[in-house]
Structure 1
């Protein structure tokens, strides 16, 4: 399993607007293609105005297939255009996390 860890930095004062637009127009279509996220969070302590979400995939091929379907969906494209025009996101970062297989480190008798 891999996890797609995405962090968005939202302009100060626009978090509520960002989340409202996503809830109204992005969430349903995104979960239709990607499944339910492992988590969708906002920060309370530390660097504020962050949205962090985590998506699980079997492997990179699974991620590529599901994200390609999302990017081909006109509803998602319309949401992304609206979100971009709103100018709520300052920047985004992305990391692919790979699950550790601890059996590879187990002692052998």
Structure 2
């Protein structure tokens, strides 16, 4: 399993507007292709005005297949154009996280 972590820095005072547009037009089509997000958060302490969301995939091939379908959907492209024109996002960071298999790291104990 992998998790795609996406962090957006939003202009001060526009987080609510960003989330409202996404809830109305982005989330429904994105969830149709990617499944529901593993998590969707806003920051309260530290780097504020950030939106962080997590998407779970079986592997990179699964991610590539589902994201390609999303990027080919005209509804998603229309949402992205509208969101881009709103100018709310200042920065985007992405990370692919792999689950740690602790069982593989701990040597078996003799019986």
Deviation of 1:90 after TM superposition, in Å, equals: 0.1
Say whether residues 1:16 and 2:24 are aligned partners.
no
Large movers: runs of 4+ above 4 Å: none
Residues 1:75 and 2:72 are matched in the alignment: no
Cα-to-partner distance string for 1:72-101 (whole Å, 9 max, x where unaligned): 000000000000000000010000000111
How many residue pairs match? The answer is: 109
2:21 & 2:90 partners in 1: Cα distance?
16
Distance in 1 (alpha carbons) for counterparts of 2:67 and 2:74: 13
Alignment root-mean-square deviation, CA: 0.6
Which structure has the larger Rg? Answer: 2
TM (normalized to structure 1)?
Answer: 0.98
The residue matched to 1:63 in structure 2 has which SS?
helix
Unpaired stretches in structure 2, ≥5 consecutive residues: none
TM-score by length of 2: 0.96
Give the 5 Å matches for 1:83-98.
Answer: 83-98=83-98
